[in-house]
Structure 1
């Protein structure tokens, strides 16, 4: 059996799909269906999630750093789908010599401070914890190379129960608000 482009074209004349759809509602319905199908097929390309046991790690990201910067921060959402709490106990980042889990806060006098969470960060059973600017975050110190917008870098997260999982941090623009990537 041979394939003929001319025979194929005769089978489906120009305008075939539109000629079958007579009403605007049918055409809109087809367009919505096509967009939904496209979204379903490409969603995994956008997904930036990792899993370790009952812990889901949603969109690890960082901001671009200026040349010569010595620190950067990492952000993500930790979701615990299990029936018991777990704890993020350590992290690494290939861009840093030292990586720690930190919390930023403001005291009663309005003074902002940052401290290392030496015992890690608890993720409650059935709950989630957002590591975000001005709150909990991963601190990358003694940077070996700058974080560049549009690139990514690898790291690990280690949990008390779920173990260690490799993650990849996407690098967003240096300033401004982070776009929500599903976290």
Structure 2
């Protein structure tokens, strides 16, 4: 019985953490995630929170082997109609501020996806910042709506 319990505990330790965050200079990138999409969908979106404890910076671009192209996008209200538009010039990260990339707002759009990821998958995403440089994060694919995280995440 003890061997079984030890094996189960060791298995739990090898599982990837559900909450994950990354740093790039003064930037903290918290829990990059994507929603599982139907297999036939040629696009997906990536969300995260970026906190900046330093001077102003800017997210300029993103890339991933998961898609042919990644674009910075935002939802806009155009005379009562919600439209998605590419953000030109990057996403501003204010000094000592925070930017949330979330459903219905700013997000990273993945285009020309050869095969959709399913819930539980993970894939790399490289972010290019004006001042903090490049940082690679791991995106977790989750089912349903926005993930719920414990306090502090």
What TM-score range do you get, normalising by the shorter chain? 0.7 to 0.9
Map of 1:178 onto structure 2: 146
Quick one: higher RCO (CA 8 Å, sep 6+), 1 or 2?
2
Q: Where does the alignment leave 5 or more consecutive residues of structure 2 unmatched?
A: 1-15
Correspondence for 2:108: 138
Q: CA deviation at 1:62?
A: 0.1
Report the CA distance between 1:65 and its aligned residue: 1.6
Cα drift, residue 76 of structure 1: 0.2
Counterpart for residue 126 of structure 2: 156
State which of 54, 63, 79 in structure 1 corresponds to 2:51.
79
Aligned match of 1:88: 59
Which structure has the greater CA radius of gyration? 1
Structure in which a larger fraction of residues adopt strand: 2
- RMSD of the TM alignment (CA)? 1.7
Gaps of 5+ in 1: 1-43
Structure whose residues are more often helix by fraction: 1
Task: Measure the CA separation in 2 of the matches of 1:45 and 1:100.
Answer: 27
**Residue correspondence of structure 1 range 89-104 to structure 2 within 5 A:** 89-104=60-75
Whole-angstrom CA distance in 2 between matches of 1:47 and 1:132: 16
How far residue 61 of structure 1 moved from its aligned partner, in angstroms, is: 0.2
Matches within 5 A, 1:5-20: none
Aligned twin of 1:128: 98
- Who is 2:30 aligned against? 58
| Shift >3 Å, 4+ stretches | 44-47
Partner of 1:112: 82
Give the aligned length: 137
